[in-house]
Structure 1
Amino acid sequence: MTGTATSTAMPQYSVLMPFTPSRPEQALPYAALTQWTGAHRLWQGQSSVGEPHQTFAYMAASGFRVPAGTGVTVMPLRHPYEAALQAQSLAVTMNHPVVAGFGPGAGILQKNLLGAPYRSQLGACREYVTAVRGLLDGEAVDLDGEFFRVRGRLPVQPRPEVEVGLGVLRPGMARLAGEVADTAITWLTPAGYLRDVVVPALEEGAARAGRARPRLVAMVPVALAADGREPTDVALASNSAHMSLPHYRDMLRRSGIDVDMETDPVASAKALIEGGAFVYGGPLDIAEAFAEYRSAGVDEIVLNVSGVFATTGTRTALKELETLLREVLS
């Protein structure tokens, strides 16, 4: 980690599972793609269909052991001890490094599962990430916090490295990640916003804690221009749910992108593309866009072709990922 706002090293390029598998064998082509290409890591987001840790375990049993990332799994689903145990078990199962990413989830989810939203999103995240990191480090954790109670030690097994990540959209969470997380994970965040807002906040938090800036991982929705492909359709298929959530709308507004999904979804998608939150174009256009992410300080770019998958299916999504990894990002 450089501790500076500008990264001079080439970022690593990883792959996001562009859908939530209902059967674990559906994930195997993406595991194979990651294992057989230059992709750095395979990521899965939170799913209420197929549990990501179990899907990764199925990959390993099928002969595909790759670096893995869970980003981000939502905290109300798992006690910190269970989260640390799952992360460690995944690293042992895959025999590769793991990024275990966490986030508080939407307020309505917190209310539905816990009875009420966290009084402080930042306070809950601080307790959770600190406890998980301590358990993975083999510490005897004794936390009697406002949001979580953890008293115990996790027997540490020989395993590859596990990074504890925190989902980041806005400056407050970025400062917290700078203090307590190994990795900051962003979604739908333009390069300029990362450079001007997120990275300085990460560095501020890291300086406060007397540590190096966490690694920065950007999950970037992307699609290659193609005949018959309408970019706004792909952007909406990938991001309409996020563009409807208040905290994403606020982040986009801070980055200069105004979206209003109720009034005009197509105009909102156009704004997303024009503002660089959704990367679309030919190979040279995409290479230039990712160069901006590199100069902004991003250490790992995760290729999110979920819009391609949703509009044209898994074969096209796999071909798109192969093309990006081979031609655009080489």
Structure 2
Amino acid sequence: MTAYSVLMPFLPRRPEQTLPYAALVHWTHAERLWQGQALMVEPHQGFAYAAGAGFRVPVGLGVTLMPLRHPYEAALQARSLAMATGHPVVAGFGPGARTFQQSLLGKPYRSPLSLAREYVTAVRGLLDGAAVEVRGEHVTADQVSLPPFPAPKVEVGLGVLRPGMARLAGEVAEVAISWLTPASYLRDTVVPALDEGAEAAGRARPRLTAMVPLALARPDRTAAELALAGSSAHMKAPHYVDMLRRSGTGIFGADEKADAEALVSGGAFLSGAPDRLVEQLQAYEAAGVDEIVLNVTGVCNSYGPQAAMEELKTLLALLA
């Protein structure tokens, strides 16, 4: 059965801003609270703050960016978060945009796929208590290990947009994490690639988590405006543009309003009356998605965090 989770719909500037969303997960059937990479209140610290305030809930990091931390630091932070919350953690990683890599490292990664293989393999080994030795093109670790200590499980995830990374996730990750991906694209492209990678590695297919931007239809809203408000940065990123074009979504980058309308018509942004929205979410379930993360960033950016919270409450009640 597909689980439903919630995404922090904005980047917190104070750790206490995380608390209402942690409380929402605590008091509803939502599976976990997710946050992507943030450069204000960093998600590990925000989630630990919520746990210290009494809201110890399952959390997901979707995704943190590999250039920011060595795999040892990544494994240590993820396990620390599991110990702080008392719940399993999904620690998702991704290489980030080439411009971000260039800014931090002096040049972009030659092969994001090679990086991801080395990185995820090292993090998983460290979390499993192994003495990890990697001398790869991108990652070096010389017989390092984490001090053993009981902790809830950390599942290592990989951000997945295109077939190559999906095949790799099938081989080495426990969770594949997608963002802005239409259900049809997941069904026809991502899931088969996950299966292919898992079969090659002789293992079960990893769970698939989809971050789904959406909004209920209301008289004062238009779906395209909300899609643009919540996804404008992704619509400019080359790796997202490439994925959306592969999915058949007619996005071209010349006219952001037209591109936002294409997100809606192409099924990358969901909108409609309650019954219609539930029907669209069921298409993700049918596509093989194990966890759907409700992303109401467009509502938050347009109408504020209180409106976003009410939207999430309504959606969770519909999906209960």
- What TM-score, normalized by structure 1, do the two folds share? 0.96
Matched position secondary structure for 1:202: helix
- 1:216 partnered with 2:216: no
Instruction: Report what 1:285 is aligned to.
Output: 276
Q: What are the residue-to-residue correspondences of 1:59-74 with 2, within 5 Å?
A: 59-74=50-65
Instruction: Report what 1:5 is aligned to.
Output: none
**1:260 Cα deviation from its structure 2 partner:** 2.7
Question: 1-side partners of 2:77 and 2:250: how far apart?
Answer: 38
- 1:13 partnered with 2:13: no
Matched position secondary structure for 2:215: strand
Question: 1-side partners of 2:302 and 2:20: how far apart?
Answer: 18
Q: 1:183 aligns with which of 153, 172, 175?
A: 175
Question: Would the aligned equivalents of 1:178 and 1:206 in 2 still touch at CA under 8 Å?
Answer: yes
Question: Would the aligned equivalents of 1:53 and 1:86 in 2 still touch at CA under 8 Å?
Answer: yes
- Per-residue deviation, residues 270-291 of structure 1 (Å, max 9, x unmatched): 1110111001011111111111
Instruction: Report what 2:17 is aligned to.
Output: 26
Matched position secondary structure for 1:143: strand
Q: 1:38 aligns with which of 21, 29, 32?
A: 29
Instruction: Report what 2:256 is aligned to.
Output: 265
Q: 1:101 aligns with which of 92, 98, 102?
A: 92
- 1:301 partnered with 2:292: yes
- 1:159 partnered with 2:115: no
Question: Would the aligned equivalents of 1:183 and 1:216 in 2 still touch at CA under 8 Å?
Answer: yes
Runs of 4+ in 1 over 6 A off after TM superposition: none
**1:204 Cα deviation from its structure 2 partner:** 0.2
Question: 2-side partners of 1:68 and 1:215: how far apart?
Answer: 15
Question: 2-side partners of 1:210 and 1:24: how far apart?
Answer: 42
Q: 2:164 aligns with which of 172, 178, 185?
A: 172
Paired AA for residue 35 in structure 1 = H
- 1:228 partnered with 2:212: no
Instruction: Report what 2:45 is aligned to.
Output: 54
Q: 1:325 aligns with which of 296, 306, 316?
A: 316
Matched position secondary structure for 1:172: helix
- 1:116 partnered with 2:107: yes
Matched position secondary structure for 1:232: helix
Question: Would the aligned equivalents of 1:166 and 1:183 in 2 still touch at CA under 8 Å?
Answer: yes
- 1:136 partnered with 2:127: yes
Question: 2-side partners of 1:205 and 1:256: how far apart?
Answer: 24
Question: 2-side partners of 1:176 and 1:27: how far apart?
Answer: 32
- 1:251 partnered with 2:234: no
Paired AA for residue 309 in structure 1 = C
Question: Would the aligned equivalents of 1:137 and 1:156 in 2 still touch at CA under 8 Å?
Answer: no
Matched position secondary structure for 2:129: coil
Matched position secondary structure for 1:222: strand
Question: 1-side partners of 2:39 and 2:121: how far apart?
Answer: 26
Question: Would the aligned equivalents of 1:21 and 1:49 in 2 still touch at CA under 8 Å?
Answer: yes
Paired AA for residue 321 in structure 1 = L
Matched position secondary structure for 1:57: helix
Instruction: Report what 2:78 is aligned to.
Output: 87
Instruction: Report what 2:194 is aligned to.
Output: 202
Paired AA for residue 79 in structure 1 = H
**1:258 Cα deviation from its structure 2 partner:** 1.7
Q: 2:307 aligns with which of 316, 324, 329?
A: 316
**1:266 Cα deviation from its structure 2 partner:** 1.4
Matched position secondary structure for 2:11: coil
- Per-residue deviation, residues 186-227 of structure 1 (Å, max 9, x unmatched): 000000000000000000000000000000000000100112
Question: 2-side partners of 1:287 and 1:66: how far apart?
Answer: 25
Question: Would the aligned equivalents of 1:224 and 1:283 in 2 still touch at CA under 8 Å?
Answer: yes
Paired AA for residue 42 in structure 1 = L
Question: Would the aligned equivalents of 1:249 and 1:258 in 2 still touch at CA under 8 Å?
Answer: no
Paired AA for residue 240 in structure 2 = Y
**1:150 Cα deviation from its structure 2 partner:** 1.1
What runs of 5+ residues in structure 2 fail to find an aligned partner?
Answer: none
Count matched residues.
319
Question: 2-side partners of 1:157 and 1:277: how far apart?
Answer: 42
**1:156 Cα deviation from its structure 2 partner:** 3.0
RMSD: 0.7
